[in-house]
Chains A and B, each alone.
Chain A
């Protein structure tokens, strides 16, 4: 049936911050079928008796799926109680992710804020696997405070292989890293728009100001890809919850080229 969830085994759970965990899931033992999803796509994750909520994948693999889950709602808070060995119920993948294949040969600019970094982690994992397909990769990630920085182990790797800029909005005096809004470090980077594609994910306000910054640097709207957050109920373009003007975030998105969604009515 359309809405039937399937069980996936939790093989790893890693605390990222006080309210965020990274879950790694695999198919139940004995099931050999490969997984097929792209960065930017999402699954509907169930907690039986509580409900379903959409979560973007933050991995890139045929063998496992990773979700970065923050306890903000009834479903996510229950999911955080789950431990390795137990199961999560998923259906999907749904939606259109980042157009990785169309961007072959480009320089990539990846800009993320807070938990918006999670879907972009999927993109970077994809690029790690297909490194030769892309030119330079510039990464700009912003978090509120040092203790909220996600994927610290990945950051070390990305710092070596990509042009990574990591910043926090606020930090204690003895913090050694960079402090300041992500838009500021993008602006200071002095990037030009030549042969580049930009992917942005983060809170709506951060997306808005990042785009203004990119405009100043000379980027065109058709070079920018944004990801929208909505509470999809069905995930398949029927229930109406994720509509923005005539677009269904669940099936036309969640990733949109910015020139196609610029100025659309809510």
Chain B
């Protein structure tokens, strides 16, 4: 059983649970985006931000080392400074995205310190999608987990609040009990799940891919895309500088460039397929789960509205 929180008490509640931490929530600016909240009136739960929450766990640009070519110790590790955070207003697709990224950054022999610290210091307060906030949402097809510290469901003048962790439970102890069953998310858009291995050469890929501009917006907006490059940059004095990590995209031509000039995925079609196969087949082979949470951002953000779900839904079954 969960609890109930009157909407007029939401600000006070958020203030309490985010004491000493940054409160991050969807804020309406030029567009709706997750930002550190300055004014509680800015919080907007209508629609879902087109930029996912991954930047709070692995920033678009993250300094790793300070370089000083005049010193014996050329590399100085940059200290990781992280304030505790509370994310309010994330959706199940957002939080499930973190579960996928955990596999990539925390499950292997090598682990990403910044990501781990960010994960350990962030409370996840989600909001249910009833109805889905975008016409491009198709998470119902993606077997999402009910993963959160707290989950809010809008009941008009109040929220039904459910805990998904011990931390979350502690936050709502004082609220009044309430009996309610959170309805599952229902999406109009569907992904017809298929064994992609059989369809690598299906002509449907080509047709949709013809529209692609290789701009990389799909990967930038993706909940789970976190491929990165590592770059050195020197100040004009050529003595001091930085080594930093920066988001990269498998959709860019130079992503597979090796010294000498050879590029392994030269054509857009191969790059498009690589993105989708990574999401829906390769990641599953490696980690037992899809790397897509059905948020639909890659479709909505694409300047040509390239929709991989349409490709997959359209596959010619007779060809197999």
Binding site for B on A (CB under 8 A): 1-5, 7, 46-53, 72-73, 75-76, 89, 229-231, 233-234, 236-241, 243-246, 251, 265-266
Contacts and interface: CB of A to CB of B under 8 A. Distances in A.
Interface stretch (B7-15, B34-42, B67-75, B293-301): B67-75
A49 B232 contact: yes
Q: Which of B64, B67, B282 has the most CB of A within 10 A?
A: B282
A49 B227 contact: no
B241 A49 contact: yes
Contacts of B105: 238
Contacts of B232: 47-52
Contacts of B313: none
A246 B285 contact: yes
Interface string B255-286: 11111100011000010011001100111011
Contacts, number: 112
A231 B274 CA distance: 17
Interface of B is mostly: mixed
Contacts of B264: 230, 244, 266
13 contacts: A2-B110, A2-B112, A48-B232, A73-B259, A76-B259, A230-B256, A231-B256, A237-B108, A239-B228, A239-B229, A243-B250, A244-B264, A251-B108
Given A49-B67, A245-B277, A266-B274, A237 B110 contact: yes
B69 A49 contact: yes
A107 B248 CA distance: 44
A51 B231 contact: yes
B238 interface: yes
A238 B228 contact: yes
B227 A4 contact: no
A53 B277 CA distance: 27
Interface string B45-75: 0000000000000000000110101000011
Given A1-B64, A2-B111, A234 B230 contact: yes
Contact of A266 (B112, B248, B270, B278): B270
Interface string B76-113: 01000000000000000000000000001100111111
A233 B110 contact: no
Nearest to A7: B74
Contacts of B234: 49
A240 B227 contact: yes
B178 interface: no
Given A76-B259, A265-B273, A233 B230 contact: yes
B200 interface: yes
B158 to A, nearest CB: 43
A240 B109 contact: no
Contacts of A240: 227-228, 248, 250, 255, 278
Contacts of A89: 74-75
Contacts of A46: 75
B77 A4 contact: yes
Contacts of B108: 236-237, 251
Contacts of B241: 48-49
B238 A5 contact: no
A72 B238 contact: no
A235 B217 CA distance: 25
B198 to A, nearest CB: 13
